[in-house]
Structure formats: structure tokens, C-alpha cells
């Protein structure tokens, strides 16, 4: 969930849950040194990529998989987590031809300096369904789950409604940054399941479709591994907080960084 120029004190807000199998090795949010500068991100220790990150000069990227079995690729295909690293380090996304080597993905990427952000997705060209390969994100609220950008999945609608409400409340009550952040983390902790009639049809069994309909997924095998909130304030400081979760959905750790935006040389 992204909010761009929707709050007078925070020009950019990002709420993100990472859902993954619990046995996939992962390192929590930290500062990773790279050849181009620092990277604030968690790390997939299986394939080496990440799902959400920020670079030294405000480069931003996040990725979701597309839940559609026809977009699956063999295990030898390159990891989609590398797309996030490439977008942050080079400022670019793959072109249409190169994107075909990856399984289905949605990649939001761009600069937090300028708030020029785009969503690049290969599902349109793979499925030939008319979806644009790249879409510029306008000011306002945007949701992204495992479908297409702003698809009205139940969890997306619930989170979008909650974020809009909290933005309006915070503009009236002027809560502290820490209090606002904690409230947003609370939105990401909602375990309510969608009604059967609202479930999307993505080709997985009903039991999985139901389980995956929650904003925060709790199950022994697969679930929400971490929750992150990113706030960009008017002083051009990024506040990046991540909570890691155990298989029971309990908080297992918390990492927080404040990143002053510096101009790109």
C-alpha cells in the first residue's frame, strides 16, 4: 500500500507485508554495503535478492509475485528479488523482452527524492490481457497485492480504507510520528479473512485462497514473515521500520532506521 502526496506531513507512506514460506532463510532489515552505496533492505538468503529496499540517495523498489500458475517458471529461472536490487542500483527496470525470463511480477520503483514512481509488470505481456507494462503512479493511494496494480482484492480494499482513515485522523489529531507509525503497523496486523463471495479466483485451492485473503497471514507453513512501514517526512528523512514475525504471527524482532535523503552525485 502506497500513499503519495496524500498527507501534508508525509509526502510518501508505504505499508508492506512480506508473505513467504517460513522455511525460506531470510535476513531482517539492515544496512547492506554495495558497490554503488548503502542499501537498506531485508535479504532473501536463498536467492540473494530482496522484496523491498531503499538506496543511499532515495532509490526505492518493492516487488510482489503474481499469483497465477500460468506465469510460473522453472526453478532455473532468475530470482525476481534481483529486480529490486537492479532497480535500486541502476534506477531501471527490465525491458519487455528481458522481463519474460522471470515468473510473474509487479515491481514498483523510482525515486523518493522526486516521488517519481512507476509500476512495471510482466503479466500483461505474458497473458496478453492488455495490462500496461509500465504505469506511472499518480498522487493518491495505491494498493498492490498478488494481482494487478490497484486490483480490488478484499485485503487491498481493507488496507486502503484503513490507511485513508488513519491519514484523515492523523491530520486532525497531529499524533507523533512514532504513534502514527505504530497505528499503521496495526493496520498490517489485521488477520480477518474475507467472505467467500469476495475471494479472488487465482487457481489455488479454496483453503489457500481463504487463508491468503487476510492482510496478515498466519499459518504454520506459509504466512506473513515481516511487516514494514516507510514514512518520508517534510525534512526529507525516511523512517523505515520492519517487524519480523514468527510462524505464530508474534513479533520476533524490530528494526528501525532513519535515512536522511542525500542528493545523487
Instruction: Please give the pLDDT value at position 218.
Output: 98
pLDDT lower than 50: segments of the chain: 265
Instruction: Please give the pLDDT value at position 263.
Output: 61
> What is the layout of strands, in order, in the sheet containing 237-245?
140-142, 2-4, 12-21, 222-232, 237-245, 251-260
What structural domains does the chain harbor?
A: 2-260 (3.60.60)
Instruction: Please give the pLDDT value at position 173.
Output: 92
Instruction: Please give the pLDDT value at position 264.
Output: 56
Instruction: Please give the pLDDT value at position 34.
Output: 85
Contact criterion met (CB below 8 Å) for 150 and 142 = yes
Instruction: Please give the pLDDT value at position 75.
Output: 87
The predicted-structure confidence for 169-183, as pLDDT tens digits, reads as follows 999 998 999 999 999
186-222 per-residue burial string, b: 16 or more CB within 10 A, e: under 16 = ebbbeeebbeeeebbeeeeeeeebebbbbbbbbbeeb
Amino acid at each position: 500500500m502506497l500513499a503519495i502526496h496524500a498527507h501534508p506531513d508525509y509526502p510518501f507512506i508505504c505499508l508492506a507485508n512480506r508473505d513467504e514460506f517460513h522455511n525460506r532463510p531470510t535476513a531482517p532489515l539492515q544496512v547492506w554495503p554495495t558497490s554503488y552505496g548503502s542499501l537498506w533492505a531485508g535479504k532473501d538468503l536463498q536467492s540473494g535478492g530482496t522484496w523491498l529496499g531503499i538506496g543511499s540517495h532515495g532509490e526505492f523498489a518493492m516487488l510482489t509475485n503474481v499469483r497465477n500458475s500460468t506465469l510460473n517458471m522453472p526453478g532455473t529461472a532468475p530470482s525476481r528479488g534481483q529486480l529490486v536490487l537492479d532497480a535500486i542500483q541502476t534506477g531501471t527496470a527490465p525491458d519487455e523482452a528481458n522481463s519474460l525470463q522471470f515468473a510473474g511480477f509487479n515491481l514498483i520503483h523510482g525515486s523518493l527524492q522526486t516521488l517519481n514512481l512507476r509500476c512495471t509488470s510482466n503479466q500483461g505481456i505474458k497473458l496478453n490481457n492488455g495490462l500496461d507494462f509500465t504505469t506511472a503512479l499518480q498522487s493518491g493511494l495505491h494498493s498492490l497485492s498478488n494481482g494487478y496494480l490497484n486490483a480490488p482484492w478484499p485485503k487491498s480494499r481493507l488496507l486502503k480504507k484503513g490507511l485513508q482513515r488513519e491519514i484523515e485522523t492523523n491530520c486532525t489529531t497531529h499524533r507523533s510520528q512514532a504513534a502514527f507509525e505504530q497505528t499503521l503497523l496495526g493496520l498490517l496486523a489485521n488477520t480477518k479473512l474475507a467472505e467467500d463471495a469476495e475471494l479472488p479466483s487465482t487457481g489455488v485451492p479454496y483453503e489457500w485462497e481463504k487463508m491468503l485473503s487476510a492482510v496478515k497471514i498466519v499459518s504454520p507453513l506459509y504466512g506473513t514473515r515481516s511487516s514494514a512501514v516507510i514514512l518520508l517526512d517534510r525534512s526529507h528523512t525516511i523512517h523505515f521500520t520492519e517487524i519480523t514475525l514468527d510462524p505464530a504471527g508474534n513479533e520476533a524482532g524490530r528494526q528501525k532506521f532513519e535515512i536522511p535523503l542525500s542528493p545523487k552525485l
